[in-house]
Chains A and B, each alone.
Chain A
Amino acid sequence: MREAALSPPPRRHGRLVIRLLLVAAAFFAFGFALVPLYDSLCRAVGFNGKTLKDAIEAKDVPPSAVNYARSLGVQFTSTLMPGLPWEIRPLEPAIEVHPGELRTTRFLVRNLSDRTIVGQAVPSVSPTVAARHFRKLDCFCFKQQTLAPGESREMALTFVVDGDIGEEISELTLAYAFFPAPNPN
């Protein structure tokens, strides 16, 4: 019975410990939940210049919606990430567009190596607030691109800048980073 003198009035730690473990588990899950949350947040507000994922249809861009009174400068740039022995350049480095106007531009891409390589382009728009107003009908960035040894190809991008893009924006830049495809399919 001498242990009795030691112990304080019996306390239940079990319930508290389980609750604290649940908090830890919840925050572990929260870390993973941040992945889709962050992605949707970026697309919703244009963080990191992420453009909206879904392509739009031509019928969503009626010619009547074009605002001819306003024009915007759109610049195109491109970079290659390490491990991709390609060459890429926009055929039109800068163009003028009207909000609501459907435009197509092309990038020249060439495989400089002697093997077949798969690449994936990732777009980013600056200023970032303009990203969600930059809508694409068709883009070579929608899927991985395969180039045979020495092959060069013109890759097309069809886009429209939303009519409701903020008045303060007069110029925007679309940058493509071409990565080696992580797991070619």
Chain B
Amino acid sequence: MEKEVDGILVAAHELKAPLAVMRQLALSLPEMDFGGEHIRSEMVSVSERAIKQVNDLTKIRRLDDGLFKMEPVAVREVCDAVSRELEYLFKYNRRDLNVRYSNRARLVTANRDLLYSVIYNFLLNAMHYSGDETRAELVVKDFRDAVKIIVRDFGPTLPIDVWREMKRGWVEKPTSIAMRPGSSGLGLFIASRFSRYMNAEVGAVRHRDGTSLYVTLPISKQASLFSV
């Protein structure tokens, strides 16, 4: 119970940040002689991200009900959709997002919405921790019976305790990450929950110059005849 309350407090702190930004932008609108459209775009973008995080948190509660159907999902289509959605944000923050497919266009067994959220949270994490004028990479690789989606950033490496939790595929609760401030690890917490639901393997690799987060999903045997 205590852990859960801790987690809620840290998650609440993270969700407070976009609300504070929204408020400040709204208050700043009268100061704009021109470019008000830019601020309105920011407000939409920030609020959409916050809504998505809240939605993901509510989905975690619903995982136990088993309402998320597992089905054949086209990994490339999901990766394309997520990277398209976040393209503006990366550009605005002066980061590049490189997407690279070294796999055939295979289908995996997953829930599309949950997989979308896992990749979205990994990419948001990468965007936040990559430095200005640097890049993040989204790479999809084939394995014999699985497809691995890797998101690499070039920021500070992941703290060892969070890496350990990611290694065992289960982030216990959102935790303040001293080396990676501005993040409670809420995205990783969400991603680990969704991955476990999909029987996917989630993990992290620490680099000297950043972090790779990955999720490995089993290919869909049911639909393998239709894969390209």
A, B from the same assembly: no
